[in-house]
Amino acid sequence: MTVLIPGARDVRATLDTPTAQSESASFDRLVVACPPHPQMGGDRTDGRLLAVSDTLTERGIACLRIDYGSWDDGKGETTDVTNAIEWARERAESVGLFGYSFGGTVALLAADRLSPDALSVLAPGESVIGGADPVAVLSGVKCPGQLLYGERDTVVDSERLIERASAAGFDVASLAGDHFFIGQQAKIADLVGTFFDSALTEHS
């Protein structure tokens, strides 16, 4: 199901729903999923997002995979995510937020603006976006959090994020892979699905 996210920018998304809730207008649990860098080909059909969405819907959790609007150096993209969270909140009792790579970074920034009920980020980077530092804002994220990273990741810097996430009480786990996690989508999806299944159930 294609969804248009309200806001000043053209933001489109795909809503994946559990079979039992396919005709429902409201959900117990819903996760907003943020793709990697759009200038590097990242969009809502990213394989890691699809794997996570499949696992979530199998567990009875709806998933909204978004595309960002026109490139805006990360600032508009962060707003796109907050608008998607607001859309989800109108339709679900508890809302999670997931992001991979660039999507993980903007998810952290969006969570600082408008806290979801649970947050999971995969291989986020430490790039400052629009003057906002994801490392600095991470400590202010009040919901349950998960951070997954590749032990051989040379694409993004994440050492400070990992340290800050551990100190903030996030579930932090390493995976024996690089930034792209070839062949590990099922493992990632299981870790993310298990996290949201627990965190969003406790909230709802």
* pLDDT tens track for 85-140: 999 999 999 999 999 999 999 999 999 999 999 999 999 999 999 889 999 999 88
- Give the domain extent around 29: 2-203
C-beta of residue 43 within 8 angstroms of C-beta of residue 35: yes
Contacts of 9 (CB under 8 A, 6+ apart): 68, 69, 70, 72, 76, 79, 80, 83
pLDDT-based confidence at 24, cuts 50/70/90? Answer: low
For the chain, give the percent of residues with pLDDT over 90: 91
For residue range 50-62, what is the model confidence (pLDDT) as tens digits?
999 999 999 999 9
Contact by Cβ (8 Å): 81, 7: no
CA 33/CA 11 separation, integer angstroms: 13
- pLDDT of 25: 73
C-alpha to C-alpha distances, 31 to 105, 174, 183, nearest whole angstrom:
16, 22, 23
* pLDDT at 23 (0 to 100): 57
Alpha helices, DSSP H, located in 31-73: 47-58
Tokens representing residue 38 in the block: 């759009």
Report pLDDT for 26.
Answer: 85
Q: Decide which of 189 and 23 is more confident.
A: 189
CA distance 198 to 96: 11
Distance CA(135)–CA(105), nearest Å, equals: 9
Tell me how many domains the chain contains: 1
- Residue 18 is predicted with a pLDDT of 93
Which CATH number characterizes residue 109's domain?
3.40.50.1820
Concatenated DSSP letters for 8-39? SS-EEEEEE--GGGTT-S-EEEEEEEE-S-GG
End-to-end CA distance of the chain: 24
Task: Please state the separation of Cα 129 from the chain's center in Å.
Answer: 17
